[in-house]
Chain A
Amino acid sequence: MLPLSRRRFGLISGATLAGLAAPNVLRAQGKPRVVVLGGGAGGGTAARQIAKDSAGAIDVTLIEQNARYTTCFFSNLYLGGFRDFDSITHGYDKLASGYGIKVVNARAAAVDRDAKQVVMADGSKVPYDRLVVSPGIDLIWDSVPGYSEAASETMPHAWKAGPQTRLLKARLDAVENGQQIVMVAPPNPYRCPPGPYERASMMAHVLKAKGHTGAKVVILDPKPKFSKQGLFAEGWEKHYPGMVEWYGPDVHGGIKAVDPASGTVTTDLDTFKGALVNVIPAQRAGTIAAEAGLTDASGFCPIDPNSMRSKADESIFVVGDASIAGDMPKSAFSANSQAKVAAMAVRGDLTDSRVFPARYSNTCWSLIAPNDDVKVGAQYTASETKIASASSFVSQTGEPADLRQHNYTESLSWYESITADIFG
């Protein structure tokens, strides 16, 4: 993969120099065409923003395999019983009817960069002048020995929302008092840094609400520390004493294997048996991005921090979890923010619209217990080499209950707004 990528990069670099002489790609016939791959937080936002702001001047096609999209963000609240599944599932009707976006619910098989077209699984071709790639993450199944796609039916990951989320919820609801849930947390970098720990909180909440305070959640983590660690530790002690245990690598010594048949996770320290085992493996950019030669050795896609433009291809932008976004975490908020910068750059390429300096933003809310919500956030700008944090904040331990409750209601408002921003 790497040699091919390098060769392609060299070819593209030459094309790029030629392209810079004429930045505006105004097509001689018909409107300029933008194709967006992936209908999640990044892709949905990019498609809507480009269609809305270009007011019909750009032909926008959104390719997404599934007709309905379940958001990973807030899926932990579904696990905790705070949301129903329908409320975190969205369709694309409004993007089609309200913004004139051509929504194609079919699988894209490949990107033919030389011909500037997306090749669909059925062999049809979708040509583009600019392509926005937002495939999210793929799971590296064998990053946890013994784990596989088949094993995920027994040990759900639920790190891509949908049927896996429902499976994990059903399994969580079946855990009895005195039993143990084991979570294998992912290594960096991964989607939603506080997500595993919010999930453990929601698991403990479900158990506690049923009076199953003799059950517990054990987190086996390949990382020595994690996002909002002090806040989660404080919350677990306050709300779920003795119910959540976190072991870093200095304690467990390394996660060696999982065995779906026996429901066990083996580490250097011990073998942990779970009535439910939730394995969240290592992650990389969606396969279609890698196969298109857009990734580097890290498995993710280098981008220009000023525009989200791929460093491998002048005509392609990569947004969301698949991109290497410097200081930004992989989150729906980040993807939404990056998509807006990419949309501006795409419009600048294809029309005479103005281009402004890139600005990015992120906030992540995490629910620890009912009305106890913490948050972390930052503003970002483009430095010479990366998207860099310009200022940041994080909730503090010991904060008053009314502030934490306000954070929760704030997160509910945010969900309504960002999903409207993505799906129309």
Chain B
Amino acid sequence: MTTAGHLRRALLAVPAVPVLLLAELSPASGPAAPAGDPVYGEYLSTQCVTCHHSGASEGSIPPIVGLPPSAFVDALLSYKNGERENQVMRNVTSTLGLEEISALAAYFASLSPN
């Protein structure tokens, strides 16, 4: 997957998002955490944990608690851009803007796996 592709397609999908935020979200931008709103992320996360076990579960749906923000954002963008396969995740991310993705990343990064 290409970071440039992510940025380009994400920019097309959410034209109003400032370039600065996109840079913060880019995995290539280094370890800087996205400036997401963790309270918003906590609300959005309630949708995720219907399938992703809130602890470190086994099974084909991977745990997402404690993921580094850059890995979390990269994963969601790769679904959103159609570079990664999974019908559910492509559908879920189709309605998530960068504000939502960064909020989710901030929230899940703040948790520790059980």
Contacts and interface: CB of A to CB of B under 8 A. Distances in A.
Are A and B a genuine interacting pair, yes or no? yes
Size bin of chain B's contact surface: 20 to 34
A395 B87 contact: yes
Interface stretch (B6-14, B21-29, B46-54): B46-54
A420 B114 CA distance: 13
Contacts, number: 82
A412 B60 contact: yes
Contact of B50 (A336, A354, A406): A336
B50 A413 contact: no
Size bin of chain A's contact surface: 20 to 34
A391 B49 contact: no
A344 B47 contact: no
Nearest to A49: B46
A377 B88 contact: yes
Nearest to B39: A354
B91 A421 contact: no
User: Looking at chain B's contact residues, is the secondary structure mostly helix, strand, loop, or mixed?
Assistant: helix
A333 B47 CA distance: 10
A406 B60 contact: yes
Contact of B51 (A53, A393, A418): A418
Given A344-B43, A412-B60, A379 B51 contact: no
B57 A361 contact: no
A68 to B, nearest CB: 22
A412 B51 CA distance: 10
Contacts of A337: 47, 50
B72 to A, nearest CB: 18
A49 B94 CA distance: 25
Interface of A: 49, 53, 333, 336-337, 340, 344, 354, 356, 359, 361, 363, 375, 377-379, 381, 390-393, 395, 406, 409-410, 412-414, 416-418, 420-421
Interface of B: 39-40, 42-44, 46-47, 49-54, 57, 59-61, 87-88, 90-92, 94-95
12 contacts: A354-B43, A359-B44, A361-B50, A377-B91, A390-B94, A390-B95, A413-B59, A416-B57, A416-B59, A417-B49, A417-B50, A418-B51
